[in-house]
Amino acid sequence: MIDTSGRPIFDEDLAIFREQVRKVFAQHLTPHLDRWEEEGVVDRAFWRACGDAGLLCPQVPQAYGGLDLDYRYNAVIGEELTYAGSTAGITLQSDIVAPYLIHYASEELKQAWLPKMVSGEAIVAIAMTEPGAGSDLQGVRTTARRDGDHYVISGSKTYITNGQSADIVVVVAKTDPDKGAKGISLILVEATREGFRRGRNLDKIGQNSADTSELFFEDVRVPVGNLLGQENQGFVYLMTQLPQERLQIAISGQAGAQRAFDEAVKFTKDRKAFRQTVFDFQNTRFTLANLKAKLQAGWAHLDWCTARHLKGELTAAEASAAKLFHTELQWEVCDAALQLHGGAGYMNEYPIARLWRDARVQRIYGGTSEIMKEVVARSL
C-alpha cells in the first residue's frame, strides 16, 4: 500500500477518496487482472464501475456531469491503478484525452461526449503515432482534407491505447500538409463513421490488458464541427497539454516502482537461503536501502511537480524531466526487484514479472527518454 503520510499536497478529503479508489479496484479490478491479461482487453463493465464511483475524468466541469476536481484526484487514481498492477486505459481517458475536449471542443461536442466519458459509457483514444512518425509529431502523414462542411480523413495510426475499445478517437492530422507542425489539427472521429477501421490488437511484451491497436482512416468524412479548437492549431494544443500527460506517466512510474520495491521486500523477508532469509544478506539490504532512498526522493519530487501543475506553473521541460526521472527509476527498481526474486522473478505467477514487463514501455511512450533529455537540454 502506498504510504501517503507526510505528503502535504494531500488532505483528509483526498485520503477518503483514495480509500474509495482502493475499494473499487479491490472489487472490480484485482479479481479480473489475470483474465484481462489473457484476453488483451479490459471489460467495459470496469469502465462503468469506475464511472459510477466517480473515478473517470474528475476534472470535467459539473455542467457536463463531472466533479470539477483538481488534478490531485487524477493523481490518486493513477497511483492506485499502477500500484494495483493494472495498465487499464482509464488514466489515458481522464488525464490525457479529456483535457482536449474540456479546453478545445465545441459546446455541442462537450455536451455529447463528456458526460459519457465521465460515466464510462464512452471510451476514448487519441491517435498520434503512425508507422513512420513517433515522438516527432511534425512527421505525421494522416491528412484531413476540407470538403465543404466536412473533413475527409485519410491515413493510418499505430500503437493506439484503447484502440480496440474506443467509441471516439481524437485524431492528429495534417489539415495543411505544406505547413509542417503549423498545419496540424485535432479532429474527433466517431468509431461509427464509414471508412474507420480497427486493425490488430497488437501483441506486446507487456501491458497486455491495455488494448493497443492499429487504426485506419479510409476517406472518413466527419463534420467540420468535430474540429477541436481552431484549424492548424493542433500542435500548439498538443504542446500545451503535454505537461499533464508526462506528469501522469511520471506518477505511474513512481507508483510502479514502489509496488516493485514492496514486492521485493516481502519476498526477500520470506525466502530462505543458506539458513537465513534473503533479506538478511548485506547485499540485499544495501540494494533495498539504496532503492528506498531514491523512492523517498522520488515521492517528494513528484509532489513538487504536482503542486506546480496545480498552479499552472509546471513547464514542459520540468514535466519532461519528471517523466524521464520517474520512468527510469521505475525500470531500475523493477529490474533490481526481479533480480532479488531470483528464479521466481522470471515466473509469471509472481507479480514482479508483470510489473517488470509493464515498466519497459514507460521509457518509450509519451516521448522516449532520449527525447525527454533533448527537451530538458533545450531549456538550459
How confident is the model over 48-80, as pLDDT tens digits?
999 999 999 999 999 999 999 999 999 999 999
C-alpha distances (whole Å) from 262 to each of 194, 229, 259 are: 49, 44, 5
Q: Quote the pLDDT of residue 138.
A: 75
Least confident of 227-236, 257-266, 272-281, 291-300: 272-281
Task: Return the SS3 of 237.
Answer: helix
User: Higher model confidence: residue 77 or residue 134?
Assistant: 77
**CA–CA dist 357, 207 (Å, integer):** 7
Q: Three cell numbers at 154?
A: 485519410
Q: What band does 187 get if pLDDT is binned at 50, 70 and 90?
A: very high
- Quote the percentage of the chain above a pLDDT of 90: 93
Q: Mean pLDDT for the chain?
A: 96
Q: Quote the pLDDT of residue 181.
A: 87
For residues 162 and 91, is the Cβ–Cβ distance under 8 A?
no
Given its phi and psi angles, is residue 377 left (phi above 0), alpha (psi -120 to 50 degrees) or beta? alpha
C-alpha distances (whole Å) from 65 to each of 24, 52, 86, 121, 225 are: 20, 11, 26, 12, 22
Q: What is the pTM of this model?
A: 0.95
The rounded Cα 32 to chain-centroid distance in angstroms is: 20
Q: Is a pLDDT exceeding 90 seen at residue 5?
A: no
Q: Quote the pLDDT of residue 99.
A: 97
Q: Which domains, ranges and CATH numbers included, belong to the chain?
A: 12-122 (1.10.540.10), 125-232 (2.40.110.10), 235-378 (1.20.140.10)
Q: What band does 1 get if pLDDT is binned at 50, 70 and 90?
A: confident
340 burial type by CB count under 10 A (0-12 exposed, 13-18 middle, 19+ buried): buried
Q: Out of 214, 245, 263, 318, which one is annotated catalytic?
A: 245
Measuring CA to CA, which residue among 110, 112, 221 is closest to residue 171? 221
The yes-or-no answer on residue 245 being catalytic is yes
Measuring CA to CA, which residue among 35, 30, 25, 21 is closest to residue 209? 35
Q: Is a pLDDT exceeding 90 seen at residue 133?
A: no
Q: Is a pLDDT exceeding 80 seen at residue 135?
A: no
Task: Return the SS3 of 308.
Answer: helix
Task: Return the SS3 of 300.
Answer: helix
**CA–CA dist 137, 172 (Å, integer):** 9
